[in-house]
Structure 1
């Protein structure tokens, strides 16, 4: 139908955007109703969006902008990518990344393996006092970072520490836990593992409880043993949970600060220096916030790359 064949009222309605028949009016009314229903949701989301913009987006953009400046005598000067070029020449950056890599390679797999084993054990129906054991395993996760790090520092003291006293009972000489490069790393890894294993265990336990019981029954009917059930059913079904716990643990290892600051302050000889601890020293002791911002963005980039690689390696094969 052409515009000339329309009735005068229809042409006027078409110019005003009014549907000319009922079939056109129904979809338009539904779209209008949908827009009206979305307005309250937008108003409810506005406070959260404002807080996100103030406390996340603004600091993020500001730190990126600040990484292109150098401050001297209270005056900021544009230096472009010089701060990022400085990262390539800083030996402490390489040292801190190497320390974070050691923690990532050793501590994260150890902690995830312990969490999976504990979760599988605490999910067994034959185990008595399961709720009590679960509570005891999870309690370290609710302990504040500073409190438990201070406790570990006291326990691992060379003279009079509880750990060395127990070693002395079996004839082992005292170990200089916090002032030897090798043992300082061991102490840090042990502290982190104690703190976060229970947290990951609870997440994995929730994943175990979501596995249908019919899968276990079918496997037993087919003659599968405990190990076969664990490797062929439990682990594949836990793949999404394991990806989540591995990625979050990796991010935590790269962002490590509280434990090594309280236990060793990054020593001895920078053996426990991590990128975030080095960032803190550069920013709040040397007041070189431009370079500290560059370190932060280097850490963000490395964390994102590692997370993507882990997702691709652990995703389910087609």
Structure 2
């Protein structure tokens, strides 16, 4: 009997081994891509951050922690961090709030539902760099459609720090509101209709249903959209690089712009730029961990 059982177990082990091998073969291309495009660049950045590495000179040797000291002592470091945080808070509030509002609007079955969804989603098909160039022309005091009025009033969309910030935020909301609306809409449609019917049966008003039913059940979607929005805002680069170039008076320099400037303009120091990149990576990890913990359900450990 033992020989029969052993002979039966061999084919099972062979099949399991073949399945495991096939699984590794299917996963191998993805593993290679991750190693080449994520792990190796991350290792290289970590190495650069602890080395004297000029743009055209290559690795000149270890100098840890000098690059980090130079990074935090850069004259634009504090201002760029403050501005990036300010932009991130405003962009997150606007995009998540407006995305939820638009999702609630198009969720209702009306004759205009299809048209509204399409209209809100169309800007999402345009690349951010292309959208920034489009708005750069629209905001232009020379060629923009509002140029005569701006010249008459002596005002420009990008002429002051506050105007530049809000003009850029308008671009970002126009570009991404439809995308966040779609994410919110998926989350809303995943909520069972029986829950809303039960709330109405219990006499809950629309406001009470939204506060005590919709928002708690939408928590995973809110966590996803908030993490995406905060991460994208902290890494903002194209919109400010194209629209403002960090101006006026260096008032709209983001952290990523500072990294680009240190690496390829002025200092041409890849080591200091890598140190700034590592600091940004650590900040993203901490911020995302805090966000995910904040959106965790009370009953989750």
TM-score, length-normalised on structure 1? 0.87
2:65 to 75, 78, 81: 81
The corresponding residue for 1:209 is: 189
Residue 53, structure 1, aligned to residue 35, structure 2: yes
**Are positions 1:115 and 2:91 aligned together?**
no
Q: Secondary structure at the match of 2:98?
A: helix
1:68 aligned partner: 50
Maintained 8 Å contact 2:141/2:150: no
Distance in 1 of aligned mates of 2:203 and 2:291 = 34
SS at match of 1:78: coil
Q: Deviations 1:146-176 (Å, cap 9, x if unpaired)?
A: 22111211222235633566789xxx93532
8 Å contact 1:185–1:271 — kept in the other structure? no
Structure 2 gap ranges (5+)? none
Paired position in structure 2 for 1:236: 216
Query: Residues 63 and 293 of structure 1 are in contact (CA less than 8 Å); yes or no, is this contact kept in structure 2?
Result: yes
2:140 matched residue in structure 1: 157
Structure 1: segments with no counterpart, 5+ residues: 1-18
Please give the secondary structure, in 2, of the residue aligned with 1:91. Answer: coil
Q: Provide the residue aligned with 1:8 in structure 2.
A: none
CA-to-aligned-CA distance 1:28-77 (integer Å, 9 cap, x gap): 64344212111112112212211221122111111110111113572512
Once residues 244 and 279 of structure 1 are traced to their aligned partners in structure 2, the CA distance between those partners, rounded to angstroms, is 27
**Using CA pairs below 8 Å that are at least 6 residues apart, which structure has the higher relative contact order?**
2
Q: 2:77: which partner in 1?
A: 93
1:179-190 to 2 correspondence within 5 Å?
179-190=159-170
Greater radius of gyration (CA): 1
Distance in 1 between residues matched to 2:12 and 2:149, nearest whole Å: 74
Give the conservation status (yes or no) of the 8 Å contact 2:132–2:171.
Answer: yes
Q: Deviations over 1:256-276 (max 9, x none)?
A: 111000001111122111111
* Coordinate RMSD, CA, aligned: 2.1
1:287 deviates by: 2.2
Deviations 1:238-269 (A, max 9, x none): 10000000001111001111100000111112
1:224 Cα deviation from its structure 2 partner: 1.4
How many residues align? The count is 296
Moved >4 Å (runs of 4+): 19-29, 163-168
